[in-house]
C-alpha cells in the first residue's frame, strides 16, 4: 500500500478538477459522491499506508518515495518526493480522516447553498494542498502545499462573497498569512544557503552529524536565525501572536470550513512544521524559548478574549487560537510529541465543537448569537450530547482525549523546567473549561431566548450531519487512549514511543526523571482546575443567569477591554492598515501614479501632438503642392550632389 | 549634331513638363505634362545610347514606355472615377485626403 502513497493527494485533486470544471452541470448527488468518494478513498489508502509503516521495525519507519525531479538547476535540486514517517503518518490520518468526516457533514449542512459544487471543489483542493504539505520530503514542496492551503482558506472564507464582511475577512486572512510567509521563505533561503540542500533528510543529517558546525547554540547562531524565521511563518499560518487576528474573522466562512481548515488541519500546519524541524529548533534554545513564550502567551491571551464573546463561532475561534498556543508551548519546552498529540486530539474535539455549532446554527436558521439561544437541549439532543462530550474533552476531564494531551503538555512544561509555562497553562486550562461551558450553558440550557421565527424552524439535523458528530464524539472519548501516560499504562507512553523515530535527530537535553506519583498529582491539579472552571460557569450561567450581567457591569473596564478584543484590531488599523491605505492613496496613487507616471505618459503624448501641429500643415491634400515639394526636393538633392562632388 | 543639343532639348521638355505638373489644375493637363516629362527622359536615353554606341539606353526606353502605358491606364481610370464621384477635373477640388 505504501507504493500507492502518491494517489492519496491526487484523489482529492481529481475530485476538485471534476467538481470545479463540470460541477455546474452535475446534480448535487454526483457532486457529493465525487467529493466524499475521493476523500474517503484517500482516507482508506492512508490507513493502508500507515498499516504498512506500522509493520516495519521502528528504526525503519522513514519511507521516502521520489517521483520525479521537479527542479534541477546547478547545485539546486528539488524533487517531488513524499516522506512517510510517524509524524506525517499521524497528520495523514488526521487530515484525511477528519477531512472525510467533515465532507460527509457538509452534504447536509450545505444542501441549500448556492455554489454547492464550488464549495466541494475548494474543499477537495484544500485536502490536496494539505496532503502535499504534510507528505512533502523537502522544504520547497512543503511550501507549495503551505501556499495552496492558504489559497483555499482565502477562497473558502470568502465563500459568501456577496457579503462584504466575508470578502474582507478573506483578504485579511490572505494578507496576514503573506506576512508570515515572508519569514518562512527567508527561512528556506537561509536553509539552502547554509546546508546547500532543501531535503529534510539531508539538512537534518548535516545538523545531527556535523556537530562542530552546528553545536547547540548558546547565543544567536545560524540555527536560531533559521528557527525564528520559520516560526514567523508558523505564527501566520497557526494564528499566534501577533498575527492571530485573521482567524476570528475567518469565521465568516461556512461552518464546515471553520471545522476543517480553521480548527483541525490547516492552522496546525505551523505546529507540524516546527515539530518537523525539531532538529533545528532543539539546537537553538533562544528560538525554542520564543516559541514557548509566544505559544503560552497566545494561549492565555486568546482564552481571556474567548471568555466574553457572544458569537458562538468566535468563542470557538479564540479557543482554537488558545489551543494552538498550547501546542506551540509544548514544542517550545521540547515536548514535540506532546504538541503533536494535542494536535491530534484537538482536531477531534474542536472539529466536533465546530460541527456541533454548525448544527445549532442550522437548527436556528442562521442564528449565531449566544444571547439569542438557550434551552436548545431538548430540541437537538444528539448535537447537545456530542458537543457536551467535546466540551468535557477540551476542558481536560479524565478520561477524555483532551485530558491526556493537555496534561502531557503541562507536565512536560514542569518536568523540563518551565514552571511559568506550566502555571500560565494551568490558568488557561481553567479559563478553557469556563468559556466552553459558558457556551454550552448559554446555548443549550436556561431560558429560550430565540425568536419565534427560529422556533418554527427548529429541528434536529439530518443523519448526514449527526453521524459525523457521533463519530467525532467517539474519537474525542477514545482518542487519548493511544497515548496513555506512563503512570497509567504500566509502561512508557505508546504514542510518544511511536513518534520517536521522527524526533530521533532532535537534540534532547537531559531531564531529571520525576516520579510518577508527582505526575499523577499534577494531573489531579489540572482536572481540579477544569472542574472549578466548569463549576463557576454553572454558577453564573445556570444557577443565577442575572449574575452574568451584574458581573459585566461591576468589572466594566475589563469587560469592555475583553469584549473589544484588547483593541488589537483597532491598533493594527491605526498603526499598519490606515497608514498603508492613506500612503497608497495620497503618495503612491495621487502622487507617484497620477502625477509622475501619468504625467510622463501624457507629457510625451502632448509634446508629440504639439510638434505634429507645426508640421501637419504640409499635408494639405493639394496634389500640386506635393508635386512642387517633390520637385524642390529633387532639385535640392541634385544641387547637393553637384556641390559635394 | 552634338549630344549637347539633344540634352538641352530634353531638359527644356522636362522643365516644361514639371512646371505644367505644378501649375496646371486640370487632371488631363497634368497627365499630359507627366507624359512630356517621361518622353524628355526617353529622348536623353536615346541620345546617350547613340552617343555611347550602347543598346542599354534603348532598352530602358522600352521599359519607360511600358510603365507609361500602365500609368496612363490607371491614371485615366482614376480620372473617370474622380469625374463621376465629385463632378470635377480640377485637382484643387480633390483635397479631402489631408490631416
Residues A520-535: tens digit of each pLDDT = 888 899 999 999 999 9
Q: How confident is the model at residue A366 (pLDDT cuts 50, 70, 90)?
A: confident
Least confident range from A37-41, A301-305, A590-594, B65-69: namely A590-594
Q: How confident is the model at residue A541 (pLDDT cuts 50, 70, 90)?
A: confident
Do A131 and A149 touch, CB atoms closer than 8 A? no
Residues A160-176: tens digit of each pLDDT = 988 999 999 999 999 99
A628 CB neighbours in chain B (<8 A) are 22
User: Residue B93's closest chain A neighbor by CA?
Assistant: A622
Over range A476-499, report the average pLDDT: 80
The set of cell numbers assigned to A223 is: 540555527
Residues A575-607: tens digit of each pLDDT = 998 999 999 999 999 889 989 999 999 999 999
Over range A69-91, report the average pLDDT: 90
Q: How confident is the model at residue A96 (pLDDT cuts 50, 70, 90)?
A: very high
Q: How many CB atoms lie within 10 A of CB A259?
A: 32
Contact A624 B95 (CB under 8 A): no
Q: Chain centroid to CA A482: how far?
A: 25
Q: What pLDDT does residue B11 have?
A: 94
B98 CB neighbours in chain A (<8 A) are 619-621
Question: What distance in Å separates the CA atoms of residue A538 and residue A470, rounded to the nearest whole number?
Answer: 25
For B91, the closest of A617, A620, A624 (CB atoms) is A624
Q: What pLDDT does residue A449 have?
A: 83
Residues A309-356: tens digit of each pLDDT = 989 999 999 999 999 999 999 999 988 999 999 999 999 999 999 999
User: What's the DSSP call for residue A307?
Assistant: T
Which residues of chain B are at the A interface, by a Cβ-Cβ cutoff of 8 Å? 18, 21-25, 30, 91-92, 94-99
Residues B2-13: tens digit of each pLDDT = 889 999 999 999
A438: helix, strand or coil: helix
Contact B21 A624 (CB under 8 A): yes
Q: How far, in Å, are A222, A278, A394, A499, A530 from residue A412 at the CA level?
A: 27, 16, 18, 16, 18
Q: Of the candidates A302, A286, A526, which has an alpha carbon nearest to the alpha carbon of residue A422?
A: A526
Q: What pLDDT does residue A354 have?
A: 94
For B97, the closest of A621, A627, A631 (CB atoms) is A621
Whether A597 and chain B come into contact, CB under 8 Å, resolves to no
CA dihedral B52, B58, B59, B60 (to 10 degrees): 90
Contact A631 B96 (CB under 8 A): no
Whether A633 and chain B come into contact, CB under 8 Å, resolves to no
Least confident range from A126-130, A266-270, A442-446, A636-640: namely A442-446
Q: What pLDDT does residue A185 have?
A: 95
Question: What distance in Å separates the CA atoms of residue A154 and residue A414, rounded to the nearest whole number?
Answer: 38
DSSP string, A361-377: HHHTTS--BGGG---GG
**pTM to 2 decimals?**
0.81
Q: Is the peptide bond before A242 cis (omega within 30 degrees of 0)?
A: yes
Q: How confident is the model at residue A491 (pLDDT cuts 50, 70, 90)?
A: low
User: Residue B91's closest chain A neighbor by CA?
Assistant: A623
Q: Is the pLDDT of residue A6 over 70?
A: yes
Q: How far, in Å, are B60, B73, B89, B90 from residue B30 at the CA level?
A: 24, 15, 11, 10
Q: What pLDDT does residue A429 have?
A: 93
Q: What pLDDT does residue A327 have?
A: 94
Q: Which residue has the cell 507627366?
A: B34
User: Bridge-partner residues for A83, per DSSP?
Assistant: A64
Question: What distance in Å separates the CA atoms of residue A438 and residue A385, rounded to the nearest whole number?
Answer: 16
The set of cell numbers assigned to A212 is: 562542530
Helices and strands of chain B, counted as H and E runs: 3, 0
Q: Is the pLDDT of residue B33 over 80?
A: yes
Q: Is the pLDDT of residue A433 over 90?
A: yes
For testing contact with chain A, the best of B15, B19, B21 (most A CBs within 10 A): B21
A622 CB neighbours in chain B (<8 A) are 91-92, 95
User: Residue A72: enclosing H or E segment and its boundaries?
Assistant: strand A63-73
User: Bridge-partner residues for A434, per DSSP?
Assistant: none
Angle separating helix axes A86-109 and A463-478, nearest 10 degrees: 150
Q: What pLDDT does residue A98 have?
A: 94
Look over chain A and give the mean of its residue pLDDT values, rounded to a whole number. Answer: 90
Q: How confident is the model at residue A489 (pLDDT cuts 50, 70, 90)?
A: low
- Give the number of C-alpha atoms closer than 13 A to the C-alpha of residue A163, restricted to the C-beta side: 13
The alpha helices in A263-416, defined as continuous H runs, are 269-276, 278-281, 285-306, 312-332, 336-363, 381-395, 401-415
Amino acid at each position: 500500500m505504501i507504493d500507492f502513497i502518491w494517489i492519496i493527494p491526487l484523489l482529492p485533486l481529481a475530485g476538485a478538477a471534476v467538481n470545479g470544471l463540470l460541477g455546474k452541470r452535475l446534480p448535487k448527488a454526483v457532486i457529493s459522491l465525487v467529493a466524499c468518494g475521493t476523500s474517503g478513498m484517500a482516507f482508506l489508502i492512508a490507513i493502508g499506508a500507515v498499516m504498512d509503516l506500522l509493520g516495519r521495525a521502528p528504526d525503519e519507519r522513514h519511507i521516502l518515495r521520489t517521483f520525479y525531479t521537479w527542479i534541477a538547476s546547478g547545485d539546486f535540486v528539488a524533487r517531488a518526493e513524499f516522506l512517510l514517517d510517524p509524524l506525517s503518518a499521524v497528520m495523514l490520518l488526521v487530515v484525511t480522516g477528519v477531512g472525510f468526516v467533515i465532507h460527509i457533514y457538509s452534504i447536509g449542512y450545505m444542501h441549500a447553498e448556492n455554489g454547492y459544487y464550488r464549495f466541494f471543489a475548494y474543499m477537495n483542493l484544500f485536502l490536496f494542498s494539505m496532503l502535499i504539505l504534510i507528505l512533502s520530503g523537502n522544504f520547497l514542496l512543503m511550501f507549495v502545499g503551505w501556499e495552496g492551503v492558504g489559497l483555499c482558506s482565502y477562497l473558502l472564507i470568502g465563500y459568501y462573497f456577496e457579503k462584504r464582511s466575508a470578502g474582507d475577512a478573506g483578504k485579511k486572512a490572505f494578507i496576514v498569512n503573506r506576512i508570515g510567509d515572508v519569514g518562512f521563505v527567508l527561512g528556506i533561503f537561509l536553509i539552502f544557503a547554509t546546508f546547500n540542500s532543501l531535503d529534510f533528510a539531508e539538512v537534518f543529517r548535516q545538523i545531527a552529524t556535523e556537530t562542530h558546525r552546528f553545536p547547540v547554540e548558546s547565543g544567536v547562531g545560524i540555527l536560531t536565525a533559521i528557527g525564528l524565521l520559520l516560526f514567523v511563518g508558523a505564527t501566520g499560518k497557526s494564528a499566534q501572536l501577533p498575527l492571530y487576528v485573521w482567524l476570528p474573522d475567518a469565521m465568516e466562512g461556512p461552518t464546515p470550513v471553520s471545522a476543517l481548515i480553521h480548527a483541525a488541519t490547516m492552522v496546525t500546519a505551523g505546529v507540524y512544521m516546527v515539530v518537523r524541524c525539531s532538529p533545528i529548533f532543539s539546537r537553538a534554545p533562544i528560538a525554542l524559548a520564543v516559541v514557548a513564550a509566544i505559544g503560552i502567551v497566545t494561549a492565555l491571551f486568546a482564552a481571556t478574549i474567548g471568555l466574553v464573546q457572544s458569537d458562538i463561532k468566535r468563542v470557538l475561534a479564540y479557543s482554537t487560537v488558545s489551543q494552538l498556543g498550547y501546542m506551540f508551548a509544548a514544542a517550545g519546552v521540547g515536548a514535540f510529541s506532546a504538541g503533536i498529540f494535542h494536535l491530534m486530539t484537538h482536531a477531534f474535539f474542536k472539529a466536533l465543537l465546530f460541527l456541533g455549532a454548525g448544527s445549532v446554527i442550522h437548527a436556528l436558521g442562521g442564528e449565531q448569537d449566544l444571547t439569542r439561544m438557550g434551552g436548545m437541549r431538548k430540541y437537538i439532543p444528539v448535537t447537545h450530547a456530542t458537543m457536551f462530550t467535546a466540551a468535557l474533552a477540551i476542558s481536560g476531564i479524565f478520561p477524555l482525549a483532551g485530558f491526556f494531551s493537555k496534561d502531557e503538555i503541562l507536565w512536560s512544561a514542569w518536568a523540563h523546567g518551565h514552571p511559568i509555562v506550566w502555571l500560565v497553562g494551568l490558568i488557561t486550562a481553567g479559563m478553557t473549561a469556563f468559556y466552553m461551558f459558558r457556551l454550552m450553558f448559554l446555548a443549550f440550557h436556561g431560558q429560550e431566548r430565540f425568536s419565534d421565527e427560529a422556533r418554527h424552524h427548529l429541528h434536529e439535523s439530518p443523519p448526514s450531519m449527526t453521524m459525523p458528530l457521533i463519530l467525532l464524539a467517539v474519537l474525542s472519548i477514545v482518542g487519548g487512549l493511544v497515548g496513555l501516560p506512563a503512570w497509567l499504562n504500566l509502561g512508557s507512553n505508546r504514542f510518544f514511543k511511536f513518534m520517536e523515530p521522527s524526533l530521533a535527530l532532535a537534540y534532547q537535553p537531559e531531564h531529571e526523571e520525576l516520579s510518577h506519583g508527582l505526575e499523577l498529582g499534577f494531573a489531579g491539579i489540572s482536572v481540579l482546575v477544569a472542574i472549578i472552571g466548569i463549576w463557576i460557569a454553572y454558577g453564573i450561567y445556570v444557577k443565577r443567569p442575572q449574575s452574568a450581567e451584574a458581573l459585566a457591569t461591576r468589572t466594566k473596564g475589563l469587560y469592555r477591554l475583553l469584549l473589544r478584543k484588547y483593541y488589537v484590531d483597532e491598533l493594527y488599523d491605526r498603526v499598519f492598515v490606515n497608514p498603508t491605505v492613506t500612503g497608497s492613496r495620497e503618495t503612491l496613487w495621487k502622487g507617484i501614479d497620477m502625477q509622475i507616471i501619468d504625467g510622463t505618459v501624457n507629457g510625451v503624448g502632448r509634446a508629440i501632438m504639439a510638434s505634429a501641429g507645426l508640421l501637419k500643415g504640409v499635408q494639405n491634400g493639394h496634389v500640386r503642392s506635393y508635386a512642387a515639394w517633390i520637385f524642390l526636393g529633387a532639385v535640392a538633392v541634385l544641387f547637393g550632389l553637384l556641390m559635394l562632388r | 549634331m552634338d549630344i549637347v543639343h539633344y540634352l538641352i532639348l530634353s531638359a527644356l521638355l522636362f522643365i516644361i513638363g514639371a512646371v505644367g505638373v505644378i501649375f496646371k489644375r486640370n487632371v488631363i493637363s497634368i497627365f499630359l505634362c507627366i507624359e512630356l516629362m517621361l518622353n524628355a527622359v526617353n529622348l536623353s536615353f536615346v541620345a546617350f545610347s547613340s552617343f555611347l554606341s550602347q543598346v542599354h539606353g534603348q532598352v530602358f526606353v522600352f521599359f519607360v514606355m511600358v510603365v507609361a502605358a500602365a500609368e496612363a491606364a490607371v491614371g485615366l481610370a482614376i480620372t473617370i472615377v474622380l469625374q463621376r464621384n465629385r463632378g470635377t477635373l480640377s485637382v484643387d477640388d480633390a483635397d479631402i485626403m489631408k490631416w
